[in-house]
């Protein structure tokens, strides 16, 4: 199933159902050789999922008015890194990931739980290519595997080019800092970002996507609320469609130089203006800032010519 009712509702509202049907033909379950080769070249992978628990009442995995939902808890996006090859296709519909998340990461338990719905995105700034694979987790002795339900590539729109990276020897992750509102440093972190990753869920699975723009494209309206313009994309509306049915969302901001990571969880809603412009407003529930979480240091960006 490429689209559910939430995505269809947004497609119809914007008037792009026919285009979405055309684009959706590229979504499959199999991992083609070119996609397998791409994955093996990547030093990082972003994973989105709902943490175990309940966003409504303990044990029932329900959101009021929404019914049962995957995971039941807060939705997060997390970063995994490793030597190229740590992510690889190990079957026509399966990828394996060596290693896992630190014990304190919000998704550590989810990725160690059989059947967890996850969305993954492998993004290569060097080539401005990205690949998404959504499916279900199976723990393995070396990490975890994902059995694919959806596999597809995205166009390079709004993806900043970074020519090189290095693995910084001796860089180790600092102690995570938890909070309910953004600190002044975190506000600057968000407002200077040119990229973030966005995790959402629906009744049948999860998704992780990318958002990009010139620094400042994400606004911090208050210490507990962010907003950004939803730029024109591929007309699929997987993310906004998920949010139409389940408002939970997880955001991941990465400092491409220092390796610091800022993870946010909360809820998001889409506002549709009469002129067709769309704005997503995110209300923060919890923030987790981890210094030096990634050992990768990337070169400065060349901003996408598609950025408004």
DSSP secondary structure letters along 269-296:
EEEE-TTS-EEEEEEEEEEEEETT---E
Set out the domains of the chain in order of their start, with CATH numbers: 5-298 (2.30.110.10)
Q: What is the pLDDT of residue 154?
A: 85
Residue-by-residue pLDDT tens, the chain, 308 positions: 689 999 999 999 999 999 999 999 989 989 999 999 999 999 999 999 999 984 443 333 444 333 334 567 999 999 999 999 999 999 999 999 999 898 889 999 999 999 999 999 999 999 999 999 999 999 999 999 999 999 999 889 999 999 999 999 999 999 999 999 999 999 999 999 999 999 999 998 999 999 999 999 999 999 999 999 999 988 899 999 999 999 999 999 999 999 999 999 999 999 999 998 999 999 999 999 999 999 999 999 999 999 99
How many CB atoms neighbour CB 126 within 10 A? 14
The distance from CA 108 to its chain's CA centroid, rounded to whole angstroms, is 15
Contact 249, 75 (CB under 8 A): yes
Give the separation between CA 89 and CA 57, rounded to whole angstroms: 38
Q: What is the pLDDT of residue 2?
A: 85
Give the H/E segment covering residue 91.
strand 87-91
Sign for the pseudo-dihedral over CA of 126, 127, 133, 139: negative
Give the separation between CA 216 and CA 246, rounded to whole angstroms: 27
Give the separation between CA 194 and CA 196, rounded to whole angstroms: 7
Of 295, 300, 195, residue with least CA distance to 253: 195
Q: 46: which 2 tokens?
A: 């972003």
């Amino acid at each position: 199933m490429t689209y559910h009712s939430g995505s269809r509702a947004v497609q119809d509202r914007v008037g792009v159902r026919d285009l979405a049907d055309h684009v959706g033909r590229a979504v499959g379950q199999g991992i083609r050789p070119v996609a397998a080769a791409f994955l093996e070249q990547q030093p990082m992978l972003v994973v989105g999922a709902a943490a175990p628990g309940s966003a409504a009442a303990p044990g029932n995995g329900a959101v009021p008015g929404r019914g049962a939902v995957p995971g039941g808890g807060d939705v997060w996006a997390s970063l995994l890194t490793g030597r190229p090859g740590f992510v690889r296709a190990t079957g026509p519909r399966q990828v394996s990931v060596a290693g896992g998340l630190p014990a304190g990461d919000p998704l550590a338990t989810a990725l160690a739980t059989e059947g967890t719905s996850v969305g993954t995105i492998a993004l290569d700034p060097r080539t401005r290519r990205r690949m998404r694979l959504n499916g279900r987790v199976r723990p393995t002795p070396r990490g975890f595997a994902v059995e694919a339900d959806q596999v597809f590539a995205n166009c390079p729109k709004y993806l900043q080019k970074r020519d090189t990276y290095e693995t910084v020897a001796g860089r180790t992750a600092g102690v995570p800092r938890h909070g309910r509102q953004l600190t002044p440093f975190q506000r600057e972190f968000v407002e200077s970002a040119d990229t973030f990753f966005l995790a959402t869920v629906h009744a049948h699975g999860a998704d992780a996507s990318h958002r990009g723009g010139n620094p400042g494209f994400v606004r911090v309206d208050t210490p507990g609320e962010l907003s950004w313009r939803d730029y024109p994309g591929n007309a699929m509306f997987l993310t906004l469609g998920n949010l139409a049915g389940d408002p939970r969302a997880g955001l991941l901001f990465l400092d491409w130089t220092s390796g610091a990571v800022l993870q946010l969880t909360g809820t998001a809603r889409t506002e549709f203006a009469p002129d067709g412009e769309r704005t997503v407003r995110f209300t923060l529930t919890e923030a987790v800032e981890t210094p030096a979480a990634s050992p990768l240091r990337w070169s400065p960006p060349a901003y996408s010519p598609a950025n408004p």
